[in-house]
Amino acid sequence: MKYRSGKELRELFLSFFESRGHRRFPSFSLVPDDPTILFTIAGMVPFKPYFLGQKKPEMSRAVTSQKCVRTNDIDNVGRTARHHTFFEMLGNFSFGDYFKAGAAPFAWEFLTEVIGLDPDRLYPTIYKDDDEAFEIWNKTVGVPENRIYRLGEEDNFWSVGPVGPCGPCSELIYDQGPAFSCGRPDCDVGCDCDRYLEIWNLVFMQFNRYEDGTMEPLPKKNIDTGMGLERLASVVQQVEGVFGTDLFRPLIDRAAASLGIRYGATSEGDMALRVISDHFRAVAFMIADGVLPSNEGRGYVLRRILRRAVRYGRMTGIDRPFLSDLMPTLNEIMADPYRELVENESLILQVVEQEERRFGRTLEQGTSLLEAEIDSLRRKKAETLDGGLAFELYDTYGFPFELTEEICREAGISVDREGFEKAMERQRERARTAGKRHEGASDKSLYEKILEETGSSDFVGYTEEETETAVVALISDGARTRYLDEGTEGEAILVKTPFYAEKGGQVGDIGKITWEGGEALVTDTWPGTEDLPVHRVKVLSGRLETGAGVRAVVDGRRRRRIKAHHTATHLLHEALIRVLGDHVRQAGSLVTPDFLRFDFTHVKPLSPEEIEAVEGIIFETVTDNIPLQVFFTDMNEAKKLGAKALFDEKYGAVVRVIKIPGYSVELCGGTHVDATGDIGLVKIVKEEGIGSGLRRITAFAHAAAFSLFQEQTSLVTRLAEKMGAGETEIEEKLQSLLEERKALKTENERLALGAALAKADELLEEAVEVGGVHVVTGVFEKTPQEVLRQAGDHIRQRKSPVVSCLASVSGNEVTFTVMADERAREAGVHAGMLAREAARMLGGGGGGRPDIASAGAKNAEGLEEALRRIPEIVSEQIRR
- In whole angstroms, the minimum distance from the beta carbon of 42 to ligand SER comes to 3
Strands 852-857 and 845-848: antiparallel
- In whole angstroms, the minimum distance from the beta carbon of 169 to ligand SER comes to 7
The Cα angle at residue 348 between residues 347 and 354, in degrees rounded to 5: 90
- In whole angstroms, the minimum distance from the beta carbon of 500 to ligand SER comes to 57
- In whole angstroms, the minimum distance from the beta carbon of 89 to ligand SER comes to 6
Question: Per-residue string for binding with ligand SER, 567-606, x by CB under 6 A?
Answer: ----------------------------------------
Within residues 226-245, the interface with ligand SER by CB under 6 A covers 226
- In whole angstroms, the minimum distance from the beta carbon of 197 to ligand SER comes to 14
43 binds ligand SER, rule: CB under 6 A:
yes
> Phi-psi category of 615—alpha, beta or left, where left has phi over 0 and alpha has psi -120 to 50?
alpha
Determine the residue with CB nearest ligand SER. 226
- Tell me which stretch binds ligand SER (CB under 6 A): 37-45, 125-133, 308-316, 849-857: 37-45
- In whole angstroms, the minimum distance from the beta carbon of 261 to ligand SER comes to 34
258 binds ligand SER, rule: CB under 6 A:
no
Determine how many CB atoms are found less than 10 A away from the CB of residue 445.
Answer: 9
- Tell me which stretch binds ligand SER (CB under 6 A): 125-133, 218-226, 250-258, 285-293: 218-226
Number of C-alpha atoms within 13 angstroms, CB side, residue 61? 16
Q: What are phi and psi of 772, to 5 degrees?
A: 90, -10
Nearest to 33 by CA among 54, 13, 58: 54
- In whole angstroms, the minimum distance from the beta carbon of 187 to ligand SER comes to 23
- Tell me which stretch binds ligand SER (CB under 6 A): 187-195, 219-227, 294-302, 663-671: 219-227
Our CB check for ligand SER shows the closer of 95 and 158 to be 158
400 binds ligand SER, rule: CB under 6 A:
no
Where b means 16+ CB within 10 Å and e means fewer, 385-409 reads bbbebbbbbbeebbbbbbbbbbbbe
The Cα angle at residue 336 between residues 332 and 337, in degrees rounded to 5: 145
Asked if residue 124 lies in contact with residue 104, where contact means CB atoms within 8 angstroms, the answer is yes
158 binds ligand SER, rule: CB under 6 A:
yes
Our CB check for ligand SER shows the closer of 26 and 588 to be 26
- In whole angstroms, the minimum distance from the beta carbon of 224 to ligand SER comes to 5
Distance CA 55, CA 59 (A): 12
Our CB check for ligand SER shows the closer of 66 and 442 to be 66
Distance CA 27, CA 45 (A): 11
- In whole angstroms, the minimum distance from the beta carbon of 421 to ligand SER comes to 30
Among 64, 92, 225, 676, contact with ligand SER (rule: CB under 6 A): 225
Nearest to 98 by CA among 225, 228, 227: 225
Number of residues that bind ligand SER (CB under 6 A): 10
Our CB check for ligand SER shows the closer of 6 and 91 to be 91
Query: For the chain, how far is it from start to end, CA to CA, in angstroms?
Result: 61
Our CB check for ligand SER shows the closer of 43 and 505 to be 43
- In whole angstroms, the minimum distance from the beta carbon of 285 to ligand SER comes to 18
Among 224, 356, 491, 524, contact with ligand SER (rule: CB under 6 A): 224
**What's the farthest any 2 CA atoms get from each other in the chain?**
110
Q: What share of the chain is helix, strand, coil (3-state, %, to 5)?
A: 45, 25, 30
- In whole angstroms, the minimum distance from the beta carbon of 234 to ligand SER comes to 17
Distance CA 405, CA 387 (A): 10
> For the chain, what is the radius of gyration of the CA atoms?
38
203 binds ligand SER, rule: CB under 6 A:
yes
Q: What is the DSSP letter of 789?
A: H
323 binds ligand SER, rule: CB under 6 A:
no
Helices (H), 79-170: 100-109, 131-135, 153-156
Q: What is the DSSP letter of 294?
A: -
Our CB check for ligand SER shows the closer of 63 and 805 to be 63
The torsion of the CA quartet 836, 842, 845, 850, rounded to 10 degrees, works out to -10
Helix (H) or strand (E) run with residue 700 in it: strand 694-701
- Tell me which stretch binds ligand SER (CB under 6 A): 220-228, 531-539, 697-705, 829-837: 220-228
201 binds ligand SER, rule: CB under 6 A:
yes
- Tell me which stretch binds ligand SER (CB under 6 A): 9-17, 40-48, 172-180, 572-580: 40-48
Q: Which residues contact 351 (CB under 8 A, 6 or more apart)?
A: 287, 292, 293
Our CB check for ligand SER shows the closer of 102 and 542 to be 102
Among 91, 165, 313, 680, contact with ligand SER (rule: CB under 6 A): 91
Our CB check for ligand SER shows the closer of 124 and 846 to be 124
User: Which residues are registered as beta bridge partners of 476?
Assistant: 479
Distance CA 124, CA 108 (A): 10
Residues near ligand SER (CB under 6 A): 42-44, 91, 158, 201, 203, 224-226
